[in-house]
Structure 1
Amino acid sequence: MGFDKEASSSSQALRLPLPREDTPLLGKPRPLSSQPKTFANVFIAIVGAGVLGLPYAFKRTGWLMSLLMLFSVAALTYHCMMLLVITRRKLESAHGFSKIASFGDLGFTVCGSIGRIVVDIMMVLSQAGFCVSYLIFIGNTVANLFNSGSDRTVGAYLSSKIWGISAKSFCIWGSLPFQLGLNSIKTLTHLAPLSIFADVVDLGAMGVVMIDDVSIIWKNGVEVQAFGGLSVFFYGLGVAVYAFEGVGMVLHLESETKDKSKFGKILAIAMAFIALMYGGFGLLGYLAFGGNTRDIITANMGKGLISTLVQLGLCINLFFTFPLMMHPVYEIVERRLSGGRYCIWLRWLLVLLVSLIALLVPNFGDFLSLVGSSVCCGLGFVLPALFHLLVCKEEMSWKGWSVDMGIIVLGLVLGVSGTWYALVEIFSTKV
């Protein structure tokens, strides 16, 4: 839908079939979900490759500080997700809006065209950021597998050469033609099952890594620290926010739940389960390798067949998840620049841009922190609290108003500070 059409009344616009950021990730509208299926959908929407960077975050920030941050971010993310659900219910019941399908729709309803523009920009940056991290993971993992020598340092595997160029660059450039082909597909319905495959492989990889961690801890424990100091606080926070990012899907997940009165309870249980899983994975990885923990924990595994299969499996599933995660970006960009029409050159340009950024960023963990601190803080904390405050302020007590304002201020402070810290870390890294 064009920008001029969005300027019409909110109620009229929201009755039209607006493009939705979340549709490609879960495919066509499905029958209403039971409670177990809703739990599974929440799990799929949140858990991703970011979990593999958690042990490194534990190394940087300390195991106790990391656990406290993970559980705090999980609780705050849950609260902000429910703020979005409450805000939509309020608008649909009290103001008569017939369909608020996505985060962008809600932004348009509350703040008009500027609200949709802000949400669109943050959705583009976050989704593209996820895809950049995928390419960094794939490139660094292949470089690690290619380096079969005795030198297992980060500098060694990043400097491995294939045909005169770094193994990481070779892998990213080599995958570019295939990604251009995959991302040229107009509809990703046939690729949607791969998102489930990706989570199955993630869980399998996590299980293998945790078993490996336990065996290493049993044989020879290493010295670890509980607190890494305030200087790395924002780094750890950014990684934690990234790991729980899924707020863009919550409205769609709630709308397809059969018993909506129990959605909050299901979401709380799912978030608690994911937080415990994240905490256990990060803690075991750090306890196993201590100061030698790599930015991608699979790089700490040996060169055996199981380790190689786990790493290659993760690379393959992220390779095919890439177009699924980029599709919301295409919908937004095509709506803005080509009137909502399919545009292959725009898609190819975006894939090339994401690939170039991945080539320039050396460290997987630092990039997780950057994306988590910047756009994920805005999407996950600032906007949900702001929209809730604007819609419900007349009936809120001073306590509720203070909580929303506190979340907005906290999100802005953490976002700005964390982004600055992550950028300093990235540009100070020597490849």
Structure 2
Amino acid sequence: MGFEKDEASSSSYILNVPREETPLLNKANHLSSQTKTFANVFLAIVGAGVLGLPYTFKRTGWITGAVMLFSIAFLTYHCMMLLVHTRRKLESNPLKSPKISSFGDLGFVICGPAGRFAVDAMIVLSQAGFCVSYLIFIANTLAYMFNYKILGISPKVVYIWSCFPFQLGLNSIPTLTLLAPLSIFADVVDIGAMGVVMAEDVMIFLKNRPVLEPFGGFNEFFYGIGVAVYAFEGIGMVLPLESEMKEKNKFGTVLASSMAFISLMFGGFGILGYFAFGEATKDIITTNLGQSLLSTLVQLGLCINLFFTFPLMMNPVYEVVERRFCEARYCLWLRWAMVLAVTLVALLVPNFADFLSLVGSSVCIVLGFVLPALFHLLAHKQELGWQGLALDVAILVLGLAFAVSGTCSSLLEIFAAKA
């Protein structure tokens, strides 16, 4: 789950020093087919968030969780298309609007520097949050597999600090060219691990048949929304992908097909994981599989995957921060400081799924629902009928309500776990 490098990169091909109004993307040299666009949407969305879905279904109940997951998927698709329609509306008059290539460009055209700052802030927080969750996953998984204390220090702390010097090196690489093959490896490992886990889940369910709860409590609903929004986060890739598609009039259909496929896959993964283990479902589903050779290989593969995905996901953060504070020039000390900050946050959060819910509620809801609805409302306010106006306002209000409620619920869970 993440952004393409060019999504947040600066364009200094016209100006030596990029300014606030400088577009963030060069024109794409090669346009994508429908199949490639479908695959790009899939790769941009599917990530580590799916591993927390079985535990979320345990908390929310499997019927509530399934309804919630598919509802979030539909709303995510709708808000992605709001961005596309908003850009098309603004670019229909090229004399009034410059080329809009990214979410941040759209925010600047509609709301000026405040709009770009809002998008940039959400990008930084969400991408850094993803990397925090990666470190938590790696540390908790390795601690489960190799639970050894060194000098009385907990295994989680040892494993997180063990990653730190290597991440300093990986995040020092100024270009993603050398890291690009790792993205393909990461996606292959993700899909393979999901397949293995789902097959294991089916066999375990047929053997054990645990007691299952179809519905959860009211507070658990908001918790689940945060995890689901996190799992589907990827709205920053929509405008770049639509720009690079050959048949732009078919982008909505391709996006809908990809989102439907991902929803079915996520729903199947979450339900099967909960069905297999019931109330014993853990926050990282792979730790439920025991320590067989196959399970060990899957868990190690996911750890390696996320370890090398870390610098890819941090790159949009560096692009935004270096653009704002270093005139878009490479800054080693700033990158190292941000890796340290992410590491320190990971040390403070005990539970993987709880942190997914926190990031999804506090940041991803604003980035994925609130800002697209707000930008669409402001751009189309002259021609929106009462139904369109009511829909945008409803998404705004519900998004803010879910963000506040989900954030409070997640923070309570995190503090309770630490206590």
Structures share fold, TM-score greater than 0.5: yes
Equivalent of 1:227 in 203, 215, 235: 215
1:393 deviates by 1.0
Supply the AA of the counterpart residue of 1:289: F
1:394 counterpart SS class: coil
The 5 A counterparts of 1:67-78 are 67-78=66-77
Equivalent of 1:310 in 298, 304, 314: 298
1:129–1:371 Cα contact (<8 Å) kept: yes
Please give the per-residue CA displacement for 1:158-193, whole angstroms capped at 9, x wherever unaligned: xx5234211111111011111000101111112122
Q: Which residue of 2 aligns with 1:32?
A: 31
1:123 deviates by 0.6
Q: Which residue of 2 aligns with 1:123?
A: 123
2:142–2:159 Cα contact (<8 Å) kept: yes
Closer, same or farther: CA 38–30 of 1 in aligned 2, 3 Å: farther
Q: Which residue of 1 aligns with 2:162?
A: 174
CA–CA distance in structure 2, aligned partners of residues 385 and 355 of structure 1: 33
Supply the AA of the counterpart residue of 2:345: I
Supply the AA of the counterpart residue of 1:52: L
Please give the per-residue CA displacement for 1:199-219, whole angstroms capped at 9, x wherever unaligned: 111110000001110110111
2:176–2:312 Cα contact (<8 Å) kept: yes
CA–CA distance in structure 2, aligned partners of residues 257 and 55 of structure 1: 35
Q: Which residue of 2 aligns with 1:82?
A: 81
CA–CA distance in structure 2, aligned partners of residues 195 and 391 of structure 1: 35
Say if 2:244 is the partner of 1:256. yes
2:330 counterpart SS class: coil
1:165 counterpart SS class: coil
Identity over aligned pairs, percent: 69
Q: Which residue of 1 aligns with 2:5?
A: none
CA–CA distance in structure 1, aligned partners of residues 299 and 329 of structure 2: 38
* Alignment TM-score, normalising by the size of structure 2: 0.93
Say if 2:347 is the partner of 1:359. yes
1:395 counterpart SS class: coil
1:98 deviates by 4.0
Supply the AA of the counterpart residue of 2:130: F
Supply the AA of the counterpart residue of 2:131: C
Q: Which residue of 1 aligns with 2:3?
A: none
CA–CA distance in structure 2, aligned partners of residues 181 and 312 of structure 1: 21
Closer, same or farther: CA 29–196 of 1 in aligned 2, 3 Å: farther
CA–CA distance in structure 1, aligned partners of residues 29 and 139 of structure 2: 35
Equivalent of 2:254 in 255, 259, 266: 266
Q: Which residue of 2 aligns with 1:133?
A: 133
Please give the per-residue CA displacement for 1:70-117, whole angstroms capped at 9, x wherever unaligned: 000000000000000000011111354342111111100100000011
Of 91-100 and 240-249, deviating more is 91-100
* Alignment TM-score, normalising by the size of structure 1: 0.91
Supply the AA of the counterpart residue of 2:250: K
Please give the per-residue CA displacement for 1:132-175, whole angstroms capped at 9, x wherever unaligned: 0000000000001113xxxxxxxxxxxx5234211111111011
CA–CA distance in structure 1, aligned partners of residues 149 and 194 of structure 2: 29
CA–CA distance in structure 2, aligned partners of residues 251 and 196 of structure 1: 22
1:398 deviates by 0.7
Q: Which residue of 1 aligns with 2:64?
A: 65
Q: Which residue of 2 aligns with 1:325?
A: 313
For structure 2, the 5+ residue unaligned runs are 1-7, 9-18
Q: How many residues align?
A: 402
2:59 counterpart SS class: helix
1:341 deviates by 1.3
CA–CA distance in structure 2, aligned partners of residues 411 and 430 of structure 1: 28
CA–CA distance in structure 2, aligned partners of residues 376 and 30 of structure 1: 30
For structure 1, the 5+ residue unaligned runs are 2-11, 148-159
